[in-house]
Amino acid sequence: SFSLQEHGVANSAPAHHSAHEPICKCGDLDVLFNYKASSKNLVVTVLEARDIPDKDRSGVSTWQVHTVLMPSKKQRGKTSVQRGPIPVFKNKITFSKLEPEELSSHAVRFRLYAVQKMIGEKMMGEQLFYLSNITQEGEAKVTLVLEPRSNLGSADSQLSLSAISHSDSASSTQSLSHGGVPELLVGLSYNATTGRLSVEMIKGSHFRNLAINRPPDTYGKLCLLNSVGQEMSRCKTSIRRGQPNPVYKETFIFQVALFQLSDVTLMVSIYNRRSMKRKEMIGWISMGQNSSGEEEQSHWQEMKESKGTQVCRWHTLLES
């Protein structure tokens, strides 16, 4: 009654995994699915994770699993945070209002996060489980093979759902797509009294080296432009070597009088330094007078209204 045909179930790893050596999986996740047509509830019990990255590789030994019902992403759940090489969660997450005939058009996405006190959480691996695999009644235990984050290009993560996604507009409004697109976490604050605009380059995610298959050496560059696009000042971070998800944590201060604040544009770009002379832009955003998008516009606005306290937001980098 229960089919293990779909990808992502143990013992049926697809052939393309072999191309991903040396890391071809991030671990196994044991999950129990229990669907009751009478209540239209799907209860997912996240049991435990095994064979996950050791502390040397991930730097942490504290774990949490996030679940979300796809493609709408409206229903979510998280497990408790557990420690150790084989974290045992045993947490139940209920997805409600699921009609029996709707099962075939939904999936549950599981993500394993490494949780760090100072830095926050880092997504280590994920897998989709298609609910078309579930029989109407009864319980099924499944072992999901988690695909490591480093392998998750945009195709793996988001597009595998396009087949069942009728309208995935919900995902585009979330600032964090996790779909493999390069993103940057930026902190802004402005003190009107001192005229100090403070920009913190916090961290990036999904930075890739397009030409060669290894993590890039990257740095961030900031330029402040006046109302006619002339450069007023510029600065850059130091280089982070070989990191797809670099942590910069560098803060830059620009002097901008309150009356100028509506007229300036802050350009933030990330460069991949491929050799001594060559560099290529991974992507850019701009905020202020000429914002590159709505997210950037609203982040700038929020900074103005927050009276000196820092506002942090993720931004999807635009291609040059």
What CATH number is associated with residue 59?
A: 2.60.40.150
| Range ranked top by mean pLDDT from 47-56, 67-76, 172-181, 223-232 | 223-232
- Indicate if the pLDDT at residue 21 is higher than 80: no
Let me know whether 282 and 188 are in one domain. Answer: yes
Q: Which residue has the higher pLDDT, 21 or 145?
A: 145
**What domain count does the chain have?**
2
Let me know whether 139 and 188 are in one domain. Answer: no
Let me know whether 192 and 86 are in one domain. Answer: no
What are the pLDDT digits (tens) for 105-160? 889 999 998 887 766 778 888 888 888 888 667 788 999 988 877 655 433 333 33
Question: How confident is the model over 21-27, as a mean pLDDT?
Answer: 61
Domain-ending residue, one of 118, 146, 174: 146
For the full predicted model, state whether its pTM sits above 0.95: no
pLDDT tier at 202, thresholds 50, 70, 90:
very high
What are the pLDDT digits (tens) for 223-272? 999 999 999 999 999 999 888 889 999 999 999 999 999 999 999 999 99
Tokens of 277: 């002379």
